[in-house]
């Protein structure tokens, strides 16, 4: 039996490679880029940081790495345009001026943080959920192409990888019996919305055929709705399609390991076997 950690061997690889590819990061820098993106999301994990380096210091160092790669790349694309995202950023104008280095650096970090662990958590938690719900796995396998996009919505609802964000109320209102004043900070718990029993029948069950599935896993609409949701859906489709085809016997062999911190709760390891 060939055993591996699904997170390290499969789930962790796809998101940063996809972002690097979209941006147009040169082959020689992809590994550094990928490692820095992973290190930012893992900075809270004491076992993954070099000894004596605080989480904040470590995060700052990795942010600098991503900043430098992003800025160098966009500056290079200003004189050597291509069909990648860096070239689009290089040519972009805001109010008649080019995008600044700081904005390029921030965009590189934003994409690397927003698009990395979210996708990794969704694939890993969905592999676990499929393993624990063999009837659902069989339903998807029976007609993969026709059912995968609908299943992806349930993958995202059920795993809810983004737990919460803060928002500042721009006007006063009453919500769920609570009075919110303009200027109040409000915590938005996407995971709670995704288990709302007044919206979803049996919300704690993993049901791939849910229809409709008005989940909030990518946000609730509006200007901050996940910018990468289409990319994420394409990644999930590609990964599950290849897994079902190439690793039809993949199954979970032990308990997942989670990392908890003040900031997040994430799956860190998932033992699986491929035969």
Q: How far is the CB of 64 from ligand HEM (least distance, A)?
A: 20
115 binds ligand HEM (CB under 6 A): yes
Q: How far is the CB of 230 from ligand HEM (least distance, A)?
A: 9
41 binds ligand HEM (CB under 6 A): no
16 binds ligand HEM (CB under 6 A): no
Q: Who contacts 85 (Cβ-Cβ below 8 Å, separation ≥6)?
A: 22, 23, 24
228 binds ligand HEM (CB under 6 A): yes
Q: How far is the CB of 160 from ligand HEM (least distance, A)?
A: 8
The half-sphere exposure of 78 on its side-chain side, counting CA atoms within 13 A, is 13
Report residue 164 CA to chain centroid gap.
13
User: What letters, b where the CB count within 10 A reaches 16 and e where it falls short, cover 71-88?
Assistant: bbbbebbeeeeeebbbbe
Select from 132, 141, 224, 260 the one that contacts ligand HEM (CB under 6 A): 224
* Cβ pair 111, 103 in contact under 8 A: no
Question: What does the per-residue mask of binding to ligand HEM show for 118-157, with x meaning CB under 6 A?
Answer: xx--x---------------------------------x-
Select from 6, 206, 218, 240 the one that contacts ligand HEM (CB under 6 A): 218
Alpha helices in 80-189 (DSSP H): 85-91, 101-114, 117-132, 134-142, 144-159
Q: How far is the CB of 217 from ligand HEM (least distance, A)?
A: 5
Q: Which residues inside 51-90 make contact with ligand HEM, applying CB under 6 A?
A: none
Q: Who contacts 136 (Cβ-Cβ below 8 Å, separation ≥6)?
A: 129, 130, 206, 207, 208
Distance CA 184, CA 176 (A): 15
Q: Which residues inside 234-253 make contact with ligand HEM, applying CB under 6 A?
A: none
Question: 185 — phi, psi (to 5°)?
Answer: -85, 135
* Cβ pair 226, 236 in contact under 8 A: no
Select from 65, 128, 162, 272 the one that contacts ligand HEM (CB under 6 A): 162
Residues that bind ligand HEM (CB under 6 A): 19, 110-111, 114-115, 118-119, 122, 156, 161-162, 165, 190, 217-220, 222, 224-228, 231-232
């Amino acid at each position: 039996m060939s055993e591996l950690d699904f997170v390290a061997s499969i789930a962790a690889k796809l998101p940063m490679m996809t972002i690097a590819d979209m941006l147009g990061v040169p082959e020689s820098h992809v590994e550094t880029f990928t490692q820095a993106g992973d290190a930012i999301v893992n900075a809270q994990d004491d076992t993954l940081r070099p000894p004596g380096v605080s989480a904040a210091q470590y995060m700052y160092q990795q942010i600098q790495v991503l900043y430098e790669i992003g800025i160098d790349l966009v500056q290079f694309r200003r004189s050597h345009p291509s069909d990648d995202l860096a070239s689009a950023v290089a040519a972009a104008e805001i109010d008649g001026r080019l995008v600044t280095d700081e904005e390029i650096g921030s965009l590189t970090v934003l994409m690397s943080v927003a698009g990395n662990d979210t996708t990794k958590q969704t694939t890993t938690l969905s592999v676990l959920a499929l393993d624990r719900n063999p009837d659902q796995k069989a339903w998807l396998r029976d007609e993969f192409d026709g059912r995968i996009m609908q299943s992806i919505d349930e993958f995202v609802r059920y795993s809810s990888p983004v737990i919460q964000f803060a928002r500042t109320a721009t006007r006063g209102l009453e919500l769920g019996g609570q009075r919110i004043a303009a200027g109040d900070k409000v915590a938005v718990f996407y995971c709670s919305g995704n288990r709302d029993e007044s919206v979803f029948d049996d919300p704690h069950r993993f049901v791939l055929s849910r229809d409709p599935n008005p989940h909030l896993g990518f946000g609730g609409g509006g200007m901050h709705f996940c910018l990468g949701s289409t990319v994420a859906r394409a990644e999930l489709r590609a990964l599950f399609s290849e897994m079902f085809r190439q690793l039809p016997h993949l199954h979970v062999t032990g308990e997942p390991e989670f990392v908890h911190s003040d900031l997040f709760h994430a799956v860190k390891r998932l033992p699986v076997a491929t035969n």
